[in-house]
Structure 1
Amino acid sequence: MARYFRPNTETKTGAFIVKALISVLALYSLYLILLNFICAVSCKAVSYAGYAALALILFAFACFIAYKAEVSPAAFVLAVFVLGFLTKSIPAFLTDIKPVSDFDVFYQYALKLLNGGRSLEDMEYFRTWAYQTGPVIYYAALMKLFGTGLLTLKLANCFFMAGTNVFIYLIARKISNDYTARAVSLLYLLYPAPYFLAPVLTNQHFAACMFLSSIYVLLIERLNWAVKGILAGAVIAVGNTVRPIGIVIIAASIIWEIIEIIRSGKLLKTGSVIMLLLSYLLVSYGCSAAVKHADINSEGLANNFPLWKFVVGLNYEAKGQFSYEDEYEIYRIQDFNKRNKAAEQVIKQRLSVGIKKLAGLMNAKQIAMWAGSDTLSWGFYQQIDGQLVPSEEVKKIEPIILKSEKMYYIFIFILMLAGFCRSAWENKINHGVALLSLILLCYFGIHFFIEIQVRYRYFAMTIVFILAAKGCEAVFYSLREYRERYP
């Protein structure tokens, strides 16, 4: 399988395609970095100078620890997992904020399911978006095993967030070396944004861990191709039952397979991606059928209104974010067929506004999602009269935390950009870099058209940190000791 992933010879066409892919992502990363700097300037950039210095200090600290920690990879994995779990547990224990919005729906219906309740489709929400039954079953299963209450679910968050940190290290080792992999895994451990969601009952933590584990499986060269495809597809499907973005990894994997065939100039073992797709479809269908059979939701895990994401994502006035006007005029139409037709008409109308207005919308969406400030609201605000309101203590610390996160965020993107430049300079681009780049490109691409929120960048940021390992190579290569250890 190693020969399949690393062809001894590479065609000119294949090399051009991969370098073009890296170049596109490098340009897009530069665009996002510039957007973030522009936003920082508009918010009095002088006040960010100290936080930029803090980001550099944390980078130096992570690199120093990575270099001095003379422990085996297995010991480092254990250390990162324990540190990840303990540090994420701090906000989980310290906050006592009740779930809000969709998260409260998940929790309440998980309790209902745990107490014998069935037929979630009785609620319009679960009839329309039956795939949201997945998080409900996931939370109910956790409480069945470990006891009811929010703390159980928060600690499960911490467990899978720690797992995500481990897979960042393991995957980074596949595309770079042990030192840079340790550095980026420690950088992610210190990254503020995941802590904002640690106490939140979001479906992102479990899913991100599953998706990263599937990517790691795909990059294990010595694993049998059939086992690799089956295992990775099954894990993606399991993650997809809780957060349905697995199609991004599936699509990227198929494109990756095609590129690998072009790079090698031979139709080699394509069975792995076929097994991946079959496994994904079978497990997805099996999970949906099981939900129906258990009488939890007669709609299974279906998405009965996929057009909604595009309706919202193409809303110029709302800049691709949730719109109450769209909810009242489209979502609340009871008849599924009429609702779909109304959605189709709105989408066509919003796509026909002209290139200039569409370009303006796309730029506004990039600013909102990839250059916008993060928020503490989901996990640290209190709900008062239907509104999320920060306490006086949160008001004091929030600006400091968010400015620190912003500088950290920009710095990691700069590292990733440096990594793309280094990869483009190499004679042959690592196959793992190609896969991760495709996943990131697909993730960026789909959010040009669908609904956006700042918290939706959660999974993408794990890929950004992994790719930043190549940027660390570019930074460290000037050091003699580094060149001697990793020539």
Structure 2
Amino acid sequence: MINKYFKLFCAFVILTFGLIYMGAGVYFNWLSFDELYVRPDLLIGLGSIAAMALTYLLTSQKLSTRVFIISLLGVSFLVRILWVLYVPAQPVSDFYILHRASMSASEGNFAFMESDYFQRWVYQLGFVMYQAFLLFIFGDQLFPLQLINILLSCATVFIVYKIGVQLFNERVGRLSGIVYTFYLPTIIMTSLLTNQILATFLFYLGAYLLVRHFEKSTWVWAVIGVLFAFGHIIRPLGPFVLLATGLFIFVVFMLGKRLREALFSAGKLAGVIATYSLVLFIVSQSLMLSGVSDYPLENRDPLWKFVIGLNHETSGTYSDSDLKLLNQYEGEERVEKERELIEERLEDPSRLVELFRDKFEMMWANLDASVIWGYGDRNENVKERLFQLEKAMYFPLFLYGGLGILGLFVVLKRNAQDPKQLALFFVLFIIGYAMIHLLIEIQTRYRFVLMPSLIVIQSYGVYMLYEGINKLKSRIDSRKVE
């Protein structure tokens, strides 16, 4: 009984979040269209029609699974390799710093670790060592690194497809794979030397194993822990993923179960956390014992992200004035100054509400920065078209994503034991990721790791809508016959 009512409570949480999410997404995205001088209703209509037409094609074609997967991966590779070949991107900003450090590391020179950048954010060393390994093997050219990005991105396409199939059905999986294949930032980002592509692949491979094998397999928890750990080493998002994992396992596999089953699941969750922690410890100690780093792979300035994230003047984006101010202090004095700034910025609740609103709009509605980093200033007209295309693709994701979340609410309300309850992991990840970015620094390119979750949920929303139209059509036709 406890299990039943708690899952119903979770369903209502999903419903509330879905309504807020869909309404906010529509409102903020509508505002952001003004920057492009394009009628939002036209783009919304075209995006919706395209999504529906795509669903129709997917459900009407009798393609075998093997043919579909080969075609999907082939097209995914083609569009990404063409982008990299015709729009080569040079590393700039943080990408440049990390690339230069990787080149030095590949030659055995770790002098860059003495810089303030790597002294504060030691966790960047994980991605640097990964790139250094590739540079050592393939040489100092950019293309091999970009080619690895392409292969990882295609592998993520396959994982997104498999997650859709596992959570819902073959049609949802196919739609998820196709949308992720053509979603513009997933193509553009392959030309950038970013840690997001590999980290996303590792996190979602772990997530697939979680929803596919966790309950049935005895030892899969160890693989999940390893994947989440290496994903964190590449990009430090492990705590968010582990939190979503813990809540998911507790609600789905422990709550209301027999004591033996609950303890078994709790043990496997503990195994995930232990394996994750062990891998991080081994990698950090290895780097420290080898003399590469004096510190473990961690953020040695954790308050910085909150200082920036709570800056009212920049609406939670990077602040050069904050950096200049804090650079006047060192050690404990800097920490105290950061705490002082955070406390000042949390004093007025009314200003906080305004800040959170602005941050939500900027994070989830602004033009995707991947176009800026990946395309640069080559041609302003083409650049504007890329922004328009990305927006036309992104906006329906919010609409159908909200529909998918509402659909999950209906399913869980009717039957708390429905297999679709496994989608709760991705809903929890979306909620947690969105909430933490109300407090920490935001950039639109940070949306990247969340997009597979959103695309799978929105694909279910599109499928639901299509099935609903089919049922309505069948009823109308049956009444005509009568």
Scaled by the length of structure 1, the TM-score of the pair is: 0.89
CA deviation vs aligned residue, 1:53-103 (integer Å, no higher than 9, x gap): 442343244324423453443443333223222211122111233211110
Higher helix share: 2
Correspondence 1:291-306 to 2 at 5 A: 291-306=287-302
Compute the RMSD of aligned alpha carbons.
2.3
1:437-479 residue CA offsets vs partner (Å, 9 max, x unmatched): 1111110111010000000011111110011132023212235
Deviation at 1:264, TM superposition (A): 2.4
Q: Do the aligned partners of residues 278 and 222 (structure 1) sit closer, same or farther apart at CA in structure 2, a change above 3 Å counting?
A: closer
* TM-score, structure 2 as length reference: 0.90
- Using the aligned pairs only, state the percent identity: 23
After alignment, is 277-286 or 141-150 more displaced?
141-150
Instruction: Indicate the residue corresponding to 1:337 in structure 2.
Output: 332
Once the 2 structures are TM-superposed, how far is the Cα of residue 223 of structure 1 from its aligned partner? 6.6
TM-superposed CA distance for 1:295, in Å, is 2.1
State the alpha-carbon separation in 2 of the partners of residues 356 and 186 from structure 1: 43
Taking the aligned partners of 1:340 and 1:263, their CA distance within structure 2 comes to 41
Q: How does 1:77-476 map to 2 (within 5 A)?
A: 77-221=69-213, 224-260=216-252, 263-267=255-259, 268=262, 269=264, 270-330=266-326, 332-333=327-328, 335-352=330-347, 354-375=348-369, 376-381=371-376, 390-391=377-378, 393=379, 395-426=380-411, 427-428=414-415, 430-476=420-466
Q: Note closer, same or farther for the CA distance 1:40–1:109 as it changes in structure 2 (3 Å cut).
A: closer
**Residue of structure 1 in register with 2:30 after alignment:** 38
Instruction: Indicate conservation of the 8 Å contact 2:18/2:405, yes or no.
Output: yes
In structure 2, relative to structure 1, the CA distance for the partners of 1:239 and 1:75 (3 Å cut) is farther
* Matches of 1:41 and 1:401, distance apart in 2: 13
In the other structure, the counterpart of 1:6 is: none
Maintained 8 Å contact 1:106/1:136? yes
Letter in 2 for 1:103: F
8 Å CA contact 2:252–2:422 kept in 1: the answer is no
Deviation at 1:346, TM superposition (A): 1.0
Structure 2: distance between partners of 1:431 and 1:278? 26
Contact 2:52 2:462 in 1 (8 A): no
Q: Shift of the alpha carbon at 1:406?
A: 1.3
Report how many residues are paired: 464
Aligned partners of 1:193 and 1:374 also within 8 Å: yes
Contact 1:62 1:187 in 2 (8 A): no
1:52 to partner: Cα distance: 3.2
Does the CA contact (< 8 Å) of 2:55 and 2:462 recur in 1? no
1-side partners of 2:458 and 2:154: how far apart? 19
Q: Is the 8 A contact 1:21 1:437 kept in 2?
A: no
Which residue identity lines up with residue 344 of structure 1 in the other structure? Answer: R
Distance 2:102 2:225 in 1: 27
> Is the CA contact (8 Å cut-off) linking 2:362 and 2:444 kept in structure 1?
yes
Separation of aligned partners in 2, 1:310 and 1:475? 40
Q: 1:409 to 1:475 in 2, by over 3 A?
A: same
Residues 102/82 of structure 1: CA separation in 2 closer, same or farther (3 Å cut):
same
5+ residue gaps, structure 2, are 475-482
Structure 2 letter corresponding to 1:160: L
Q: Distance in 2 between matches of 1:38 and 1:249?
A: 30
